[in-house]
């Protein structure tokens, strides 16, 4: 049995793997990435192959994912944005195929309110906005209307900062105020520092080194480092050889008090999380004996 949670943050009403209520601080929650774009940076885009999408969702569930995150538009550097109509045409069939098959909350990765609204109606139970309401503030209205958690990520054009963390904190506070001012419950706000978005490799490493400072913002943290270019830069490895580098960043994110890690390699990162949780959060598996 797991040890009592130490995180005082209020938790949203979500059931994760095994029907367990999500409680911040109990353990690290693993979010498995499902890309239905044809041009994902990680090379894992499934496009319109619905059987493959469902197969991946079921595999992630079996491997121990707590949540799924499905997105239909690539966010890799240099990507070409698609229309709302095309994003919905890619996303909704996949979401409608997955939702009845898994017993996990599904997050929709979009920064457009019309897409978010349709996705929640189709079975999504979280909204993951990579622009933190700066691209389309009406996403907050969708989250408030349906009462679903909202992930607010820091993002910006370019990589210029006066001071890295203070600038990121100021931007995230603006996002939080936009959300709560529109009616999103504070316990439904999750923050993401935006590793790899509007940041250099050195910025990303500094954020990971100072991650615990984000606790001053008063909301749980999601961290997404999986297979990203900073790992490639440090290790001089292509995207398909960044598993160990990802594992290191995931473990150290947990040391820095991350609550959710967003990953491509679910089986391996669940193991990394559980081992790290046993040390950092005093978590223990069911049936643990001294």
Catalytic residue positions, numbered:
228, 262
| The pair of three-digit structure tokens given for residue 216, joined into one six-digit string | 């001053």
* Residues counted in the chain: 290
The H or E element that residue 151 is part of is strand 150-153
Smallest CA-to-CA distance from 16 within 102, 122, 142 is with 102
Using an 8 Å Cβ cutoff, are 67 and 104 in contact? yes
- Longest CA–CA separation in the chain, Å: 56
List the Cα angle 221/227/233 in 5-degree steps: 110
Distance CA 246, CA 165 (A): 22
Helix (H, G, I), strand (E, B) or coil at 216: helix
Q: Which residues contact 186 (CB under 8 A, 6 or more apart)?
A: 10, 180, 218, 219
Measuring CA to CA, how many Å separate 197 from each of 30, 33, 38, 47, 161?
21, 17, 20, 23, 13
Q: Which residues contact 278 (CB under 8 A, 6 or more apart)?
A: 284
| The pair of three-digit structure tokens given for residue 209, joined into one six-digit string | 């080194």
């Amino acid at each position: 049995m797991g040890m009592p949670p130490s995180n005082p943050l209020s938790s949203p009403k979500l059931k994760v793997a095994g029907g367990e209520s999500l409680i911040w601080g109990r353990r690290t929650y693993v979010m498995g990435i499902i890309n239905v774009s044809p041009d994902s940076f990680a090379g894992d885009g499934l496009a319109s192959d619905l059987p493959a999408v469902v197969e991946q969702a079921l595999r992630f569930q079996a491997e121990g994912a707590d949540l799924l995150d499905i997105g239909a538009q690539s966010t890799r550097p240099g990507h070409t944005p698609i229309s709302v109509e095309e994003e919905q045409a890619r996303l909704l069939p996949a979401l409608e195929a997955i939702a009845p098959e898994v017993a996990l909350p599904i997050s929709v990765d979009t920064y457009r309110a019309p897409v978010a609204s349709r996705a929640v109606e189709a079975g999504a139970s979280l909204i993951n906005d990579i622009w933190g309401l700066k691209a389309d503030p009406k996403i907050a209205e969708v989250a408030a209307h349906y009462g679903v958690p909202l992930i607010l990520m820091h993002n910006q054009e370019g990589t210029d900062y006066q001071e890295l963390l203070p600038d990121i904190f100021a931007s995230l506070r603006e996002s939080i105020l936009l959300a709560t001012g529109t009616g999103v419950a504070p316990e439904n706000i999750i923050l993401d520092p935006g590793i790899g978005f509007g940041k250099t490799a050195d910025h990303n490493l500094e954020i990971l080194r100072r991650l615990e400072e984000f606790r001053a913002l008063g909301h749980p943290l999601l961290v997404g480092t999986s297979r990203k270019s900073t790992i490639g830069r440090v290790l001089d490895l292509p995207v398909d050889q960044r598993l160990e580098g990802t594992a290191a960043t995931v473990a150290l994110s947990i040391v820095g008090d991350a609550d959710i890690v967003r990953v491509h390699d679910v089986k391996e990162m669940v193991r990394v999380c559980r081992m790290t949780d046993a040390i950092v959060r005093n978590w223990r598996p069911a049936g643990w004996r001294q």
